[in-house]
Amino acid sequence: MFKLVARSTSSITARSASTQRLALVQSVCSVRNINTSHRKPNQDAEEAKEQKLFDKNKKRLDKMEHDKTYQEVKQPDCDVLRKRGDDARIEQNRPDDGNY
């Protein structure tokens, strides 16, 4: 009997933890949709221009943070990296001590 009660209690606590996580995710996601509540209803020309620039920069920042487009990035191969390291060591006149 005790095992049955303990098993049902653990499933309730596990369920409540996942429910809490879901509620947290939903609250965080809903915050993104309330971005325009900070704006003044009647802005003069300078404030409107500044707000437009802010919104444009925020949109660019969100795109840079969340989009995963790395089309132009190419990793150099090992030989090129090794040659760069050797050239840098020679230019800086440091011996190769083997510690990096």
pLDDT-derived band at 29 (thresholds 50, 70, 90) equals low
pLDDT-derived band at 94 (thresholds 50, 70, 90) equals confident
Task: Report if pTM > 0.75.
Answer: no
CA 10 to chain centroid: 34
d(CA 29, CA 22) in angstroms, rounded, equals 10
Does some domain include residue 92? no
Average pLDDT, the chain: 73
CB neighbour list of residue 96: distance below 8 Å, 6 or more residues apart: 89
- Checking if the pLDDT of 53 tops 90, the result is yes
Does some domain include residue 73? yes
Total domain count for the chain? 1
Does some domain include residue 64? yes
Does some domain include residue 16? no
How many other CB atoms are found less than 10 A from the CB of residue 43?
13
pLDDT value at residue 59: 93
Does some domain include residue 66? yes
d(CA 76, CA 42) in angstroms, rounded, equals 53
pLDDT value at residue 74: 78
Does some domain include residue 48? yes
Does some domain include residue 61? yes
Does some domain include residue 91? no
Q: Determine the structural domain holding residue 66 and report its residue range.
A: 43-85
